Structure formats: C-alpha cells, structure tokens
Chain A
Amino acid sequence: MTDPNDPLRVIPTDAPPVGACRQTGTSLPPLTLMGEHDLCPGCGEPLALRQILDAIDEMGMSQRAIGTIGIGCYTALTSLMDIDLIQALHGRAPSVATGAKRMLPENLVFTLQGDGDMVNEGLQEVIHTAARGENVTCILLNNGVFGETGGHMTATTVLGQRTKNSIEGRDAGEHGYPILIGDLLARLQGTAYCARASVHDAKGVHRTRRFLDRAFESQMKGQGFSFVEILTMCPTGWFLPTAEGPDYLDQELGAVHEVGELKKDGVLIEA
C-alpha cells in the first residue's frame, strides 16, 4: 500500500492562485472556479472530477484528452467537462476508449465510470482491457451503489450495507461478496499502474490527485493499462444526512476497499 512517507502535494499559498485552470470554456469554470455542479449536495463525484480536470490541464493535455464516460449520474458530468467526450453505454467505456486510443495513440484517453457501470455491467470489458495492456486510463468513481436509480446494491456494496434491494443489509449468503476491483486489476500483467483513493477529506483529495497524475503519466509513457479507483460519497444513495457522508465513506466503504497504491511501473506493491 502507500508509503506513509510519500509527501503530499502542497498547494503554494504565498501567492494567490493564478490561472488555476487554463480552460476558458463556458462549461468548465463553474466547476473549477466555484465548485458549481448539477449533482446532489454532498456528492463526492465533483471533487474527483475536479482533480481529473486539473491533472489533465496541468499536464498540458487539455487539447489532447478524450474522455469516455458511462451512464448514470455521469450524464450530468458532460456539461462540467470542457474536454472532448464520447458517451458510451453502461459498461462499454473501456472498449470504446480502446478504439479511440488505437486511432489516436498520442492522446490521453481515459474512461470515467461508476461502480454499477464498471464492476457490474462492464466487468468483462475492464478486465480484458487491462489484460491486453491497453494504454488507457480507467477511472472508477466507486460509491458502492447505483446512485442514479435511487440507491441500489452494486457489486462493490460492502457487507451489511442497506440499499433499496438489500433492505436488511448486504448479506454474503444471499447477495455474495463485494468485488475489490482494484485488487483484481492490479494482479493482471497488462496493468502498469493501479491505485485506490478517496475524496472524503482534504488529504484524500490530494492523494487522489497524485494517483491520477501517476496514472496519466504512466499512460503517456506507454507503460500499459492504468487504473485509479476513487471512493466517492453518495449521501443520496446511502440515505444518509449529507454531512455524514464523508465519515460513512471512511469507516464503511473505505474499511473494505482500502486506499493506497496497488501497482506502480508494473510492479505490485504488497501490503
């Protein structure tokens, strides 16, 4: 897992931020400048999204990035991202990204999917894309539920969690066990970089950004498949007061899907 001595990225405070983002479009600034978005209050996705956009921009890749996004609350994200996008079906983003990257190998090609999208419907696609060592970055925003349908169990829902279709809590005997997708993908030979982050607190947000930077760098170096799983809050789908989202994420989801780097430069990082 992550080296605790690994320094966190520090935002310089001796000068006010200038041009935090070079993006000049009408659709991006509300998110990057004011944190404005169309998702639920307390949703973790805009936090993750902002890190993704900042990472791309700071790499100077704004005009060479292509995002492939899935379905769900992601549809609303299209308006928040001022980069070229392809919207795919539930589960299909890794395949669609594969086709795009093969035609434009100089571009930064990434997917953005939820856990229902990637780990339920599209599990086969992300596994094969990783196994092929496809030079794309898949980003999973994992909140452990289908948020958009109104809070149903997914393949990553932790045991005991109450959802609309596991009303007494997810029970292994009845519903099986959660899939730890990051751990699964890290073990595939085609995977060059693999990490799991969380946006439940400031430290987690910084770490998310660092992992994203590394994944994108890995892709641009042509090392193979890179993967970043980001645990995000979904107070709406969890039926929790908004303010309790971060703690629930840390204590429940985070306890099962452990945060940290799992693979770097093609080498597994053992816990």
Chain B
Amino acid sequence: MNVSTTERRLMEGSEAIAEAAIAAGCRFFSGYPMTPFTEVLECFAKRLPDEGGACINAESEIEAIGQAWGAAATGARAATGSTGQGLSLMQESMSEITRAEIPIVIFNMARGQGDYFQATRGGGHGDYRHIVLAPQSVGEAVELTQLAFHLADKWRHPVVIYGDYLIAHTAEAVATPKIDFGSLPAKDWAVDGSLGGSGRSRNVNPIGMEKGSKGIDPNGFWQNLADKEDEILEAEQRYEAIDTDDADLLIVAFGTLARFAHAAMRDLRAEGIKVGLFRPISLWPFPKEALVKAAEGCSKVAVLEQNAGQMIEDVQLSLLGSVPVVPIGGISTDGAGFGIGALLDSDLIAGRARDAHAGRPVPRGVVA
C-alpha cells in the first residue's frame, strides 16, 4: 500500500486517521485499547512496521504517552491517543510535554462531547493550553490530522484531534494524499546524542532548565510560553460559518453534531426561520472574533453540544453579553454510554432550535 494514497477508498475513520498520519510522516505510535479509540491503535499497529516505524501496545495510557514523548523528543513525528478516561491518565504528561515544547499529536476519540473542558482547558497541572482541532467528518479528519502534525512542529506544541465514535467508526470514501502545508523550522532542539561532549548538548525538559546554568529562569521560561500561546491564539483560529449573514438565530455546534445541526438548519430555513450555523474547528484557540461577527444582527445564539454545557462558556466569553445565548444541547443518555445518543437527530435539533427561537424553554436531558 502506498503511504501517500491519492485514490479514494472506503475507509473507517480510524483507518483514515492512521493513513493520514503516516502520510504526514508519523513514524511512532503508542496506545492502549479503549473504545472507540481501539481501531486507531489497530491500524497503526498494522501499518507502521511496513513504513519503518514503530507501534507499541503500551501497558497503560500513562506509558503510551511517555513513549510518544521520548520518540517525539528525538525529532520523530510521534502520536498517541485514547478516549475520556485514558486521556485523563495522560493529562499529567500532556502538561509537561507542552512545557517541554515537544511537538506531539494526540487522538482523542471521545465518547461524545463531555470532554470539551478536558480537551480545551487541559486536565493537567500548571499553566498551559494545547491546540485542539475538531473534525466533523472522516474527510476532514484526514486533513486535520495532517495539519495537526504540521502545527505541532510549527509551534513545538501538542495538538489534540477531538474526534468521536462516529468519526472513528463511520466509513467514507476518502483519499489520504500527503498534504503540503509549507516549510517548517529545523528541529535543532531535538535530542539525537550528537552534541554530547561539545558543551552545547541539548536538554529537553519541562522546567526551563538550561544546560550549564545554576537553577532556572522562571520568568523567561514562562514568558516565552505565554508569548507563544498568544501567537497561536492569533494565528490558528479555524471555523466554518454557514449562512450567517442574514441569520436571526445562530446555532453554534462542533464536531459531528454540527453536521446534524446543518441538516436541521436547512429544514428551519425552509420554514422561514433564518438560521445560521457557526462551527468552531479549532476548539483552542476558540474562534472568538469570527463568532462575534457571525452573531452580529442575530436575536439569539443557540449552543448545541452533547453535554451539560461546556463550550457555551467559550461562546458567552466571546460574545460578552452582546447577544442572548441559550443552550439547546443536553447530556447524552444513550444506553451504550458512548455519546452517540439521541441528540444526533436533526428533527430533534430543529425542534429545540424552534423552541429557543420562540423563547420557549428547552429541555436539557435527552432520553434515548
């Protein structure tokens, strides 16, 4: 099989993601099985050895991210991943890796959208943020996966792909050609041992410790990270705005749920309700200015998410009270617990948006 496949082929999202990562030059993967992430690991395990890479079936998520950390510190493109609980175990390392400025890609095949805070705030200790990209389809996951490796190297920063059960397990016809995002700085920081004994040996560490210095310079270290995060905030906001120019009601949704919202939006437009859709693609940095622009002239902003209300805080913080914000999402109560529940129903979403538009109360719970 060719690494850089330009032919379209019917692939499950898990396989497409692995193929896209390999096309982007990922040569190290480590993971621990957990639904719905398992198949991503399986695909890497099957494919990486053929490409001269390594895939380790780690003993835990903690070890998986540790192994990817070491591989990435040598300058290799490396990735790991998991879902909810597994990602919780990785948070400690995610925080340290961010501060050590090691580029790494983490696939979060989430169970629904209850982990928005975990992904965007970072569940680890310390003062940090990582880039989070949320695809809405397998095709977009292929592109964002490759972009993730590029952004990780560009900023020396972890990038999280926030997928879900549907992305992982839906088959779509996609191609996985290598996408060229432009040139990147040399990885002159990466360790390969070659500078040992020269007085200039490298030290990749999360506390700002410089070789040969006595102690650390906390001010310079944190300032550098804070400046970088500010630059990422400016440069990497991504979103999609559909029919927002004349909208009276703006629906904000991310990931696969946004596709259902899109269908609901078409129905509502046919009824004469002017609905627009705003989809953040980068959950951090959150596309704040674009959202403010999209919400201009709207009488209401309806936030659709499969949780008790998390992204709504980013929406409110962006709009700062300029437009009323109402939640039309709700916690997922599907029996499987995978967050693929009743909210994935465009009629239901249209009904809630209609209620919100008319000022009627919108229920929170969703009974599957």
Contacts and interface: CB of A to CB of B under 8 A. Distances in A.
B193 A64 contact: yes
B66 A99 contact: yes
B59 to A, nearest CB: 4
A85 interface: yes
Interface residues of B, number: 50
Given A68-B70, A96-B70, A124-B60, A82 B205 contact: no
A75 interface: yes
Interface stretch (B208-216, B238-246, B325-333, B345-353): B208-216
Nearest to B209: A78
Given A78-B209, A96-B67, A85 B192 contact: no
Contact of A85 (B65, B200, B205): B205
B73 A62 contact: no
Interface in A1-54: 22-28, 38
A125 B62 CA distance: 9
A125 B261 CA distance: 45
Contacts of B354: none
B189 to A, nearest CB: 10
Nearest to B92: A89
B194 A63 contact: yes
Given A83-B193, A124-B60, A99 B67 contact: yes
B207 interface: yes
Contacts of B66: 88-89, 92, 94-96, 98-99, 125
Given A64-B194, A124-B63, A100 B71 contact: yes
Contacts of A28: 197, 199
B171 to A, nearest CB: 31
Contacts of A107: 192-193
A99 B72 contact: yes
B54 interface: yes
Given A27-B212, A75-B209, A85-B191, A96 B73 contact: yes
Interface string B64-81: 111111111111101000
B186 interface: no
A107 B190 CA distance: 14
Interface of B: 27-28, 30, 54, 56, 58-60, 62-76, 78, 92-93, 96, 100, 191-207, 209, 211-214
26 contacts: A25-B212, A26-B212, A56-B196, A65-B196, A78-B211, A79-B212, A79-B213, A82-B197, A82-B198, A82-B201, A84-B195, A84-B201, A85-B205, A86-B191, A86-B205, A87-B203, A87-B204, A88-B66, A89-B92, A95-B69, A95-B70, A103-B76, A124-B62, A125-B59, A125-B62, A128-B63
